[in-house]
Chain A
Amino acid sequence: EVQLVESGGGLVQPGGSLRLSCAASGFTFSTSNMNWVRQAPGQGLEWVSYMTSTNSKIYYADSVKGRFTISRDNAKNSLYLQMNSLRAEDTAVYYCAREGLSGHFGADYWGQGTLVTVSS
């Protein structure tokens, strides 16, 4: 069974940093491309970042470019999101999501999410 478990969320002050983790199991993580997607409270879904299995391609939404960094450790079956210079508008539930077989970012499995709150 595919499982994605996010962790690392919490309360952080504006301008602060946070590192999210996503632990993957039940599939071959090392050959899977991965996304981070977020959802602000009461709002819709917003794609944040994407990374291929071999780190060869990395993409970011304009809203986080230069502040967030996606990375992975295939030996640990883990995906990460380093978030710096956090703003109030970054407050959201952050999901990691596996790209499906047809590619082009679309996800077939999602984790349960971890809540990030940016507030003083």
Chain B
Amino acid sequence: DTAVSQTPKYLVTQMGNDKSIKCEQNLGHDTMYWYKQDSKKFLKIMFSYNNKELIINETVPNRFSPKSPDKAHLNLHINSLELGDSAVYFCASSLSVRDLTYEQYFGPGTRLTVT
């Protein structure tokens, strides 16, 4: 009964390839996020979706494209992978502004290694 799940947990690929990371939450939340944790462990938001609508889009290369088929899923597709894309990518979810707690629940992370 995992709350926020991500697949795969590990992804090793070569430069130039295209890859996707999937995220699903079964908490009934309506807002989902992607965060990137770099090699120095620094976490930064990339995107956020509310009810399948893109809400937050930080300064992220166009090679990164999130897609939300429904409010329980938020996938991250990365084109033309570069060495600098190597990082841990976290998916998170929360209730929208109606929820006074605003707590975000994180998935287990996907470690992407680009060789």
The answer on A and B forming one complex is: no
Interface on A for B, CB 8 Å cutoff?
Answer: none
Q: B residues touching A (Cβ–Cβ < 8 Å)?
A: none
